[in-house]
Structures are given as structure tokens and as C-alpha cells.
Amino acid sequence: MTQSHTHSAAATGSSQSAAARTHPNGNPDMGYNPDGVRHTDSALPRRPRSPVLHDYAPEGPAPGTLAFRWIHGSSVAATNRDPRVQVVQYNEDTHVLRQNVCVHWEAPFTYLLFGNTGALLIDSGATAEANHYPLRATVDAIISRWAQARGRGTVPLTVALTSGEDVAQNQGLVQFAGRPDTTIVPRPLAAMKGFYGLASSWPAGTGRIDLGDRVIEVVPTPGAHKDGISFYDPYCDILFTGDLLFPGRINISNDRDFVASLERLQAFAASRPVKWLFGGHIEMLFVPGKHYRRFVNHKPHERVLEMAPAVIDEALRYAREIRGQDTILIRPDFVLLNGVSPDARTQAWPEGVPNITPPFHY
């Protein structure tokens, strides 16, 4: 039986009833967003007299864009002058943050989501030192600006990880220790299960993080890591899959868990209107099946971050095929490494995947 548990951010305003919602995004009755323009809250007064409530129940996915190029490092890291944290506003309540490739070669992504009563930071990057990787300062600045626009004094923050084991996603967590109005989901597996109410059902069941009319669902997905978690945002219809499924070299630690998690994710996605999967990294190039080597800090020819939900079916098909084998399997958008070194290479090129030589990046 599926179980669920809800964690709620502290409320700072009243909730908006479903009956009162007249438009899927923003409030056109206010006159700030007339028909013919994008309905958001961007035109509201910078200091509203009372907290602004946003509608997080749109018909279809909330609008958002990633039409830009990620900063991609430099051939000589010491010469790089790009921001240590790149911030992209997918929409007004959803931010995508990426660590500079020259600060850490894995260049992990973190995600900052807002609801009417709180915010959620998914993952915390690969570097603990704030002077090299100012994640907390960046998140604080975004929250401060958002709070000002929405008329809120404080915005409770929850920090959660797709894996407490993954050193590329958990190192920045120390920057949030002692931060006011902050809940950090514990890293130890048993404590994490308890936090989400999954101690007796893991890896079955789902948890919930309530941000105020924007409830993020928590799906156990071990396999790449024994404590793997995926998050689903029903506002943008995005699955955040961490190391389980991303455009790169997916290192399978337990192939039975990996297959079971993909089966669970497939069933979950079949019951939700998933638009995109956002993983924890990009390692693939823009040509099919080719990827950057480890420790490279110059990646000018990356594949895009977002993956279509059909990739779950593809990954599950091939994960079943290699279960029980020590092997590498190449697909256009990802590579599965089962029971082999992360640096292992294969001379076998799969049938049906175009073998294109990518441009040299130096």
C-alpha cells in the first residue's frame, strides 16, 4: 500500500482556495497582467502591503524557459571569470543554479523552488567552502528578492538532497548550518527515511514537502546511491532525478535497486503529467552517445539539461538488459556503467546510435 507523509514549511500567510482561482498563473483581476501578456506576478508593486498569494494549480505545466547556454568553464581554470554560481530563472518561482565547471568539474545543478509559505533547495553542490562556491549567499539573495516582491518578511527554507551519499551534491550543505528559518533534511539514511515518513515502507511509498499550495512529492529511487531520492514538482511538471537519470555516465551501484527504482519512477510518471526530467549533472555532448571524460573543466559542447519523460522507458529497457553483467551500455542521451570503474571505456559502439566525431574543444 502506498504511504505518504507531508512536511510543511512554516506558514506566513493564508492559503488560497481552489474555488477562488480564476486563472492558472497570476491574478489578471488585479490589472497588472492584462490579457495578451504573460500572466505572472512580476508587475506587482515591489513592496506590496500584504503577502501576495500565487496560484500553483495551473492547467498544464507552468510556463518556463531554459533557452540559453550554460557557462562551460575554461581550458585553464585559473583564467575563468564566470560566476561561481550561475542562476537561471526558469520562472518566477523556480530557479536553476549551476556550479561553475572550473570550481568543480562535475558542475552539479541545484534547484530552488518557492511556494506561498516556504522554499525548497534541492541539492547543495560539490564544494563546501563558501569563498569558492557561494551557494548560501546566492540562495539568500534570491530569497530576499523574492520575499520583497511577494510582501513577505521571512521565507522558511527546506534543504533536501537527491542523495546524502553523493559528494557532488551534499558538500554545500554545511553552508546552511545554523541558518535561521531553515530545515535541513538529515543525511543519514535512517533519519532521512524518518523525516519523510518512509521508515516502514522504504523504498515504497512517497513523501511530501508542502511549500504552501505547491506540494513537492518525494519518491524513493535508490540504485545509483542506496539513499537516492527523486522529487516531483506538480506546478512545473518536472521530475528532479539527481544521479539516477541524467544526461551523463550513470554509475549503477546496485542494479536490482536501479531497475526497481526505474520501474517505480515509470509508474509514478505514468500517473503524472511529467514535462521534463532535470538531473544532477550534464556529461553528454550534443552528439549522440559521446560524453566528456572525468575531471574536464572545459565543456563547451554539452547536451541540454532537460530530458523527455520517455527516457525513463529507455533507461529501464536497457537497465534490465545489463542486469547482472559488468558492462558499459551506450545510448544517445546517457551511458549506463554497471559494475565497472567510472573511468572504464568500451570499444563497442551500439547499433542504432550514430557514431559522430564531436568537435575538439580546445
Domain ranges of the chain: 4-57+65-338
pLDDT computed for residue 312 by the predictor: 98
- Rounded to whole angstroms, the Cα distance separating 23 from 34 reads 12
Q: Which of 227-231, 311-315, 345-349 has the lowest mean pLDDT?
A: 345-349
Q: Which residues contact 307 (CB under 8 A, 6 or more apart)?
A: 245, 246, 247, 276, 277, 278, 279, 333
Average of pLDDT values for 208-216? Answer: 97
Position 37, amino acid: V
Task: State what percent of residues in the chain have pLDDT above 90.
Answer: 73
In this structure, are strands 157-160 and 182-184 parallel, antiparallel, or unpaired? parallel
0.95 exceeded by pTM: no
Q: Is residue 125's pLDDT more than 90?
A: yes
Q: Which of 75-84, 102-111, 192-201 has the lowest mean pLDDT?
A: 75-84
pLDDT computed for residue 5 by the predictor: 57
Sign of CA dihedral 252, 288, 273, 216: positive
Up-side HSE of residue 77: CA atoms within 13 Å toward CB?
A: 12
CATH number of 4-57+65-338: 3.60.15.10
Burial of 47 (0-12, 13-18, 19+ CB in 10 A): exposed
Nearest to 232 by CA among 198, 280, 196, 265: 265
Average of pLDDT values for 14-25? Answer: 38
Over the chain, what is the mean pLDDT?
Answer: 88
pLDDT computed for residue 105 by the predictor: 94
- Rounded to whole angstroms, the Cα distance separating 278 from 241 reads 6
Nearest to 306 by CA among 229, 236, 207, 211: 236
Q: Which of 94-108, 187-201, 270-284, 346-360 has the lowest mean pLDDT?
A: 346-360
19-to-43, 116, 234, 277 alpha-carbon distances in Å: 24, 17, 19, 31
Report the SS3 class of residue 291. strand
pLDDT computed for residue 25 by the predictor: 42
DSSP letter, residue 322: H
CB-based contact 7:196 (threshold 8 Å): yes
Q: Is residue 248's pLDDT more than 50?
A: yes
Grid coordinates in use for 72? 562551460
pLDDT computed for residue 12 by the predictor: 38
- Rounded to whole angstroms, the Cα distance separating 100 from 186 reads 26
Q: Is residue 34's pLDDT more than 70?
A: no
pLDDT computed for residue 59 by the predictor: 85
pLDDT computed for residue 313 by the predictor: 98
Nearest to 6 by CA among 171, 215, 190, 193: 215
Nearest to 11 by CA among 71, 42, 40, 53: 53
Higher pLDDT, 348 or 232: 232
First to last CA, the chain: 54
